[in-house]
């Protein structure tokens, strides 16, 4: 039987809520289910202000607009990340300065950030890879010392914490994804968390195509109009209804995914050691949120062998990011610094199947049979 890498989770209420959204007679954005999703995040995680978006990419683009990134402003971020982390700022004309990953984790090496800060630096974008927190105290201290903003790309980090604080709530802005490969899904979807009062009012305007329609709907003003730049960043009620059905199951989803990670770790620890393969490391300030379970292979050749071995058993494993500083688009723009850890993860990191319905036993047995 085929084991895919990912299989979207279904709570069973998704279609019922979509039907309800349709019967309410309003399927554009910012309706009943959008508000239910907003309340969920505000109540469960204590976010000050959140806005559903059509993707995490859009949430990051909103962040770049809110920070008023101008051509020539510098933005620091890891090279080992998804293209949207960088693209959102590239679209505004920013100069991207890529940071290497840590030796013990694919997340960015906090000790390498300060050397890249210049008077042009406007923001640091952290990526909580695999839902594992970056060392946020170090980053927030740097940001306040140099008077720059911090955006958390928390696409993979729902319900994960740093020293007990929820990820996405620590930087000035935080962005989440509900793409079908993430823990909580609605096909394509995202969320922007606005943690700094200075951005609250403008965030609603940018979200609503540069208009003050949100304030109008609340009855705060008697007509609405074009007051700023913006775009159509809000998802329809159909997406929000689907998403809410998943949010209601958040705790069960997280528990199940973490259980699978635990099983992988317990069963693979000694096998990995004999093959010089490293398993995910968790710093003591971070939590695991069951987003991902990966192997860091000894080299690229070993990774190819393991992918092939799993494939022969009809199990799909996949590698992850190609370093952005070496991408066809960016290579010419990169300042030439070598980022060896980022390259190493590009060549050796292998993600194992992980989804709610998965029984990982056959994946484990197949891996252990690998010589
Ligand atoms: C998935 C992901 C994104 C993009 O999310 P979308 O919702 O697909 O736009 C951005 N950054 C990281 C780190 C991701 O894992």
The CATH code of the domain that includes 106 is 3.40.640.10
Distance CA 51, CA 59 (A): 9
Query: 199 and 333 share a domain?
Result: no
Query: 59 and 141 share a domain?
Result: yes
Distance CA 349, CA 303 (A): 8
Q: What is the pLDDT of residue 371?
A: 82
Query: 79 and 130 share a domain?
Result: yes
Query: 212 and 268 share a domain?
Result: no
Q: pLDDT over 70 for what percent of the chain? A: 100
215 located within any domain: yes
Residue tagged 């092939």 (tokens): 308
| Angle at CA of residue 354, ends 352 and 356, nearest 5° | 165
Tens-place pLDDT, residues 336-349: 999 999 999 999 99
Total domains, the chain: 2
Reported confidence tier of residue 43, pLDDT bands at 50, 70, 90: very high
Q: What is the pLDDT of residue 108?
A: 97
Q: What is the pLDDT of residue 259?
A: 98
Ligand 1: centre distance to CA 154 (Å) = 8
Would you say 209 and 228 are in contact if contact means Cβ atoms under 8 Å apart?
A: no
Q: Is 55 in the pocket of ligand 1 (CB under 6 A)?
A: yes
Q: What is the pLDDT of residue 229?
A: 97
Query: 231 and 359 share a domain?
Result: no
Q: What is the pLDDT of residue 264?
A: 98
1 located within any domain: no
Q: Is 349 in the pocket of ligand 1 (CB under 6 A)?
A: no
Q: Is 54 in the pocket of ligand 1 (CB under 6 A)?
A: no
Distance CA 80, CA 127 (A): 9
Tens-place pLDDT, residues 317-335: 999 999 999 999 999 999 9
Query: 284 and 160 share a domain?
Result: no
Tens-place pLDDT, residues 4-36: 999 999 999 999 999 999 999 999 999 999 999
Query: 140 and 272 share a domain?
Result: no
Distance CA 241, CA 18 (A): 5
79 Cα distance to chain centroid:
14
The residue whose CA has the least distance to atom 8 of ligand 1 is 179
3 located within any domain: no
Q: Among residues 213, 247, 281, which one ends one of the domains? A: 247
Tens-place pLDDT, residues 259-296: 999 999 999 999 999 999 999 999 999 999 999 999 99
Query: 43 and 160 share a domain?
Result: yes
Q: What is the pTM of this model?
A: 0.97
Q: What is the pLDDT of residue 235?
A: 98
186 located within any domain: yes
- The residue whose CB lies within 8 Å of the most ligand 1 atoms, and thus the one to mutate among 155, 324, 345, is 155
What would the mean pLDDT of 158-179 be, rounded to a whole number? Answer: 98
166 located within any domain: yes
What would the mean pLDDT of 157-172 be, rounded to a whole number? Answer: 98
Query: 243 and 275 share a domain?
Result: no
Atom of ligand 1 nearest to the CA of 128: 13
Query: 138 and 204 share a domain?
Result: yes
Q: pLDDT over 90 for what percent of the chain? A: 99
Reported confidence tier of residue 45, pLDDT bands at 50, 70, 90: very high
Atom of ligand 1 nearest to the CA of 188: 7
190 located within any domain: yes
Would the pLDDT of 242 be above 90?
Answer: yes
Would the pLDDT of 172 be above 90?
Answer: yes
Mean pLDDT score of the chain: 97
Tens-place pLDDT, residues 138-157: 999 999 999 999 999 999 99
Range of the domain at 299: 250-368
What would the mean pLDDT of 127-143 be, rounded to a whole number? Answer: 98
Query: 243 and 254 share a domain?
Result: no
Q: Which two tokens stand for residue 88?
A: 């959102």
322: domain CATH number is: 3.90.1150.10
Q: What is the pLDDT of residue 119?
A: 98
Q: Among residues 203, 219, 247, which one ends one of the domains? A: 247
| Cβ partners under 8 Å of residue 294, min gap 6 | 130, 280, 320, 349, 350, 351, 352
170 located within any domain: yes
Q: Among residues 197, 225, 247, which one ends one of the domains? A: 247
Distance CA 60, CA 350 (A): 26
Q: What is the pLDDT of residue 355?
A: 98
6 located within any domain: no
| Angle at CA of residue 126, ends 355 and 348, nearest 5° | 55
Ligand 1: centre distance to CA 218 (Å) = 31
Query: 72 and 171 share a domain?
Result: yes
């Amino acid at each position: 039987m085929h084991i895919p890498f990912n299989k979207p989770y279904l709570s069973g209420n998704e279609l019922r809520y979509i039907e309800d959204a349709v019967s309410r007679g309003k399927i554009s954005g910012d309706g009943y289910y959008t508000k239910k999703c907003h309340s969920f995040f505000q109540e469960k995680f204590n976010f000050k202000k959140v806005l559903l978006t059509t993707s995490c990419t859009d949430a990051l683009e909103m962040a770049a607009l809110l920070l008023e990134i101008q051509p020539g402003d510098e933005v620091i971020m890891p090279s080992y990340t998804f293209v949207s982390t960088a693209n959102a700022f590239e679209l505004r004309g920013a100069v991207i300065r890529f940071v290497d990953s840590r030796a013990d984790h694919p997340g960015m090496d906090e000790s390498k950030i300060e050397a890249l800060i210049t008077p042009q630096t406007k923001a640091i974008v952290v990526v909580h890879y695999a839902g594992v927190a970056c060392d946020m105290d170090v980053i927030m201290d740097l940001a306040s010392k140099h008077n720059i903003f911090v955006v958390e790309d928390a696409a993979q980090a729902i319900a994960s914490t740093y020293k007990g604080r929820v990820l996405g709530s620590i930087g000035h802005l935080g962005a989440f994804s509900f793409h079908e490969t993430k823990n909580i899904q609605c096909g394509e979807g995202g969320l922007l968390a606005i943690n700094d009062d200075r951005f609250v009012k403008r965030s609603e305007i940018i979200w609503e195509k540069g208009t003050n329609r949100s304030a109008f709907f609340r009855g705060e003003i008697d007509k609405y109009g074009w007051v700023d730049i913006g775009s159509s960043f809000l998802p329809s009620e159909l997406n929000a209804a689907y998403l809410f059905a998943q949010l209601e199951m958040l705790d069960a989803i997280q528990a199940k995914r973490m259980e699978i990670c635990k099983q992988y770790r317990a069963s693979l620890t000694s096998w990995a050691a004999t093959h010089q393969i490293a398993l995910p490391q968790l710093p003591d300030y971070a939590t695991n949120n069951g987003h991902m379970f990966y192997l860091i292979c000894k080299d690229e050749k070993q990774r190819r062998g393991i992918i092939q071995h799993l494939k022969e058993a009809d199990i799909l494993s996949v590698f992850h990011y190609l370093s952005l500083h070496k991408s066809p688009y960016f290579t010419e723009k990169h300042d030439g610094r070598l980022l060896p850890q980022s390259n190493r993860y590009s060549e050796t990191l292998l993600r194992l199947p992980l989804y709610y319905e998965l029984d990982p036993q056959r994946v484990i047995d197949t891996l252990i049979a690998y010589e």
